[in-house]
Amino acid sequence: MDLTLSYDDHCTEIAHQTALLASALTAAAAPPSPLSAAVPSCPDWNLAQLLRHLGEAHRWVAEIVRTRAAEPPPDTALRTLPRDAAQTPSELATWLTTGARQLAGTLRDAGPDTRIWTPLPSGTTRFFARRMAHESVIHRADVTLTLGTDFAVDQRVALDALDEWMELGSLPEMFDHHPERRALLGPGRTLHFHATDTPPEAAADWLVDLTGDALAWRRSPGPAAVSVRAPLTDLLLLVYGRRPADTEPYEIQGDAELLDFWLAEVIFA
């Protein structure tokens, strides 16, 4: 069984995850509108702002890909997110799905190896296809947390999302952007995450190694200063800062303070 995601898979997931988000939103559209509700996993935003953020991000990336941009276009729309909830959930859902489909189509037209500006090392459309797929996954989780509905994600998608998160968080450039993360490094500092609901071929174990001069990770079981066991989707929500570690269903053994320190420092909004 192939558990990897291709470039085309990432393009598909951008549209698919946004469609699932839109369905959850319209299902909750009966008065009162949920758009003014605070998002518990993004406490500075209400739901309307979260949805506008995702839709503007899709359109911002589509413009980069369409124009083969060598530098980033203005991101004003990403930073100016009005709190008003005047639009209906159905209107926002339609706007979101339209932008997601346009982005997926633009990425497919460009192909996986087109050279463009990217915010981190890569320089090709592959970066944005994968990033926007998982951006859509996680913000769909934010919507379900706000609405109090269930969140589920395909195993292959969750595995790839966790891998991408580990890869981005371990890039040497992250110290340039977040020099405070050097405080994570130290002897004996290792963390192990194990998914309890996946088959052996999924190899759903992640070992984070903070003992060297850089953040490092690998897919591997083994002893660690702190270990976390939980279903795969719950691990995804934990490392993305969407669910606290001191709740069900997380089983934690070892240095819980190290886990809390690491999660606080590498939070991915």
Does one domain contain both 145 and 12?
A: yes
* Residue 78 sits in the same domain as residue 118: yes
Question: Tell me, what amino acid is at 147?
Answer: L
Answer yes or no: do 205 and 108 share one domain: no
Q: State whether 125 and 190 are in the same domain.
A: no
Question: Which of 220, 159, 166 has its CA nearest to residue 2?
Answer: 159
Q: Does residue 216 share a domain with residue 86?
A: no
Q: What whole-number distance in Å separates Cα of residue 36 and Cα of residue 49?
A: 9
187 and 260 co-located in one domain: yes
Classify 13 as helix, strand or coil.
helix
Residue 156 lies in a domain: no
Both 111 and 85 in one domain: the answer is: yes
Question: How many Cβ atoms from other residues are within 10 Å of residue 123's Cβ?
Answer: 14
Regarding whether 184 and 128 lie in a shared domain, the answer is no
Q: What is the pLDDT along the chain (269 residues), one digit of tens a residue?
A: 567 899 999 999 999 999 999 999 988 766 677 899 999 998 889 999 999 999 999 999 999 999 999 998 887 767 777 777 778 889 999 999 999 999 999 999 999 999 999 988 889 999 999 999 999 999 999 999 999 999 999 999 999 999 999 998 888 888 888 889 899 999 999 999 999 999 999 999 999 999 999 999 999 998 999 999 999 999 999 999 999 999 999 999 999 999 999 999 887 65
Largest Cα–Cα separation, the chain: 55
CATH label of the domain that carries residue 186: 3.30.1050.10
Cβ partners under 8 Å of residue 232, min gap 6: 155, 158, 159, 162, 195, 197, 198, 202, 204
Tokens of 18: 């946004």
Please state the domain count of the chain: 2
DSSP β-ladder status, 251-254 and 205-209: unpaired
Question: What range defines the domain where residue 254 resides?
Answer: 161-265
Cβ within 8 Å of residue 105, ≥6 positions away: none
By C-alpha distance, which of 194, 208, 223 is closest to 262?
Answer: 208
Domain boundary among 86, 116, 151: 151
User: Is residue 30 domain-shared with residue 132, that is, in the same domain?
Assistant: yes
Through-space distance between the first and last CA atoms of the chain, rounded to whole angstroms: 32
Structural domain ending residue among the three candidates 96, 122, 151 = 151
2 domain residue, yes or no: no
The reply to whether 104 and 225 lie within a common domain is no
Co-location of 172 and 140 in the same domain:
no
Q: Report pLDDT for 95.
A: 96
The answer to whether residues 11 and 132 belong to one domain is: yes
What Rg, from alpha-carbon coordinates, does the chain have?
19
Query: Nearest Cα to 235, choosing from 160, 158, 156, 154?
Result: 158
Domain boundary among 151, 171, 186: 151
Helices (H), 42-197: 47-67, 76-79, 89-110, 125-147, 155-169, 173-177
Query: 121 is written with which tokens?
Result: 């090392």
